[in-house]
Amino acid sequence: MEAGVTFRRGDYSPLVLAYMGDAYFETLAREYLVGDGNCKPSLLNDRAKEIVTAHSQSAMVDRLLPLLTDEELAIYKSGRNSKSAHRSKSASAVEYRRATGLECLYGYFWLSAQYDRARELFLRGVE
């Protein structure tokens, strides 16, 4: 990220935030799994899939909602309520929308350089 970039919520649509958040969330998952020690990449990939699926992300939302600030909750809701042309084949519509909201929140964390907050919530969500 370019030094000095100021994030303003209106600069990005919720689906653009979710796009960025999807990548950032997966990076946090991989970092978390690698932190457990060295193992085969195929095992790491299998474990990562358990964390980054819409079903798992939706379950994580339940654990995180009580911890969110008002601003974070508003950003989550903007992502959850966004209309996307894409649909998940392996998750319900509700799970998919909740996962999109979570990814939107993580895109916000990335673009606003709130890395510590993102990591804190990620760890609380996977525990």
In order, the DSSP letters of 109-120 are HHHTT-HHHHHH
> Tokens representing 71?
């601003």
The domain spans of the chain are: 11-126
- Is domain 11-126 given the CATH code 1.10.10.10 in the classification? no
pLDDT of residue 2: 52
pLDDT tens digits along 27-66: 999 999 988 777 788 888 888 888 999 999 999 999 999 9
DSSP 31: H
Give the type of residue at 19. Answer: Y
pLDDT of residue 36: 74
User: What pTM, to 2 d.p., does this model score?
Assistant: 0.88
In order, the DSSP letters of 27-40 are HHHHHHHHTT----
Q: Mean pLDDT in the chain?
A: 88
> Tokens representing 113?
């350089």
Catalytic residue positions, numbered: 22
Q: Alpha-carbon distance 118 to 29, whole Å?
A: 11
